[in-house]
Structures are given as C-alpha cells and as structure tokens.
Amino acid sequence: MKAHTRETQATMTPEKSLHYLKEGNIRFQNNLKANRNLLEQVNDTSDGQFPFATILSCIDSRVSAELVFDQGLGDIFSVRIAGNFVNQDILGSMEFACKLAGTKLIVVLGHTSCGAVKGACDDAKLGNLTGMLAKIKPAVKAVTEPQDKNLRNSSNLDFVDHVSEKNVQLTIERIIEESDVLADMQNNGEIMIVGAMYDINTGAVTFYE
C-alpha cells in the first residue's frame, strides 16, 4: 500500500475516510496488516504529506491510533493527550490539519479503563495533573448514575467507561463550539467529526456516528 498523495487525498470524502479506518481496525482485530513498505513510505512522503484523517486520542500506550487502525506513514494526523480532551492549541492543530492540510475526518477516540478518567473520577491531585484532570471532570458530573458516592470512583469500571464515553461526547461539543473553522467545515460537508471508543480487551473500536 502506497502513501497517500495529493491526488489520492483529493478522492477522499468524510464517509470514505471513516470506512478506511473501520477496515483498518478490522484488520487489526484479526492480526492482519495491509501490505505496505514503511521505508518506501518514508521516501514517498519526504516532499509532503497528505493525510485523510485527524485522530485525537489518549496517550495510553495501548491505544496507538496508527496501530489500531492499521495506517502507515502519511495517512493520519495523530493528536495525543491524556484524557483526549481539547484546548486552544489542540483546536489550532486540528484547524491546520483540516483546513490547510486537507484531512476529511476528525475522530475523538476514547478508550476503556482510561487512567486519566479514573484520576478525574477519584479527584486525584498531583502537580500539573490536577489542572489537566479538571478538564475531564465535567464528564464525571454529567454521568448521573450511580448516585451512590461509593460507586462513583475508579474501582467501578462501568462508571469509568461511561465517563469516558461522555468525555468523548463533550469533547466533540467543545470542538464545534470553540472552533468556527471546524464547525463551518462540518456544516459544509467538507469534514465529519465523530466519536469512538477503543476496547482495550478486544482491540475493537466502536464509532458513534
């Protein structure tokens, strides 16, 4: 499989881009890989890059977007931060990726048993981590069940995963609310913004379209 070129990127649509990622995740789940020569892709992309998707994911070592979607060099922009939330710098990076570099799809990818979400659920405090986790706490508050405080912590993995899903949803809402550039592109059908969850037990990605 060759690296994307300006011509192949131009043929991509938001829907086609999403289909590519779904196919890649199926290959990953079945321990298959597309036939690609990464060193050849190094050479092919030395004069430019033409990715088709931008993926915001957690820094978790088990959730590498390139691997779980079986993508090669030059295929996706990968933005990683603990808890897969957005701030002004990340929004600016996404605007560059879509408006200037031509990606057709933004995926906000959460995952099960997320350590950052667990920290937010437990109200953990540690240096700069305290401020970072505060950005995830709106998702904790938005998940109203269970109401028993003894069950609203990291020991309840169902609660943690529900918070992770809500965090993905709220992150997408923030992207649309805080980036006129990306909101306009989505309204015009130039890009699609979708959420997804990666299951660390199975390797499967569930998309929320």
Sequence ranges of the binding site for Zn(2+): 58, 60, 111, 114
Of the candidates 77, 72, 74, the one whose C-alpha atom is nearest the C-alpha of residue 97 is: 77
Give Cα separations from 87 to 27, 133, 175 (angstroms).
32, 13, 9
Enumerate the known binding-site residues: 58, 60, 111, 114
**Exposure on the CB side of residue 59, measured as CA atoms within 13 A:** 4
Tally helices (H) and strands (E) across the chain. Answer: 10, 5
What order do you get walking across the sheet with 192-198 strand by strand? 76-80, 53-57, 105-111, 192-198, 205-208
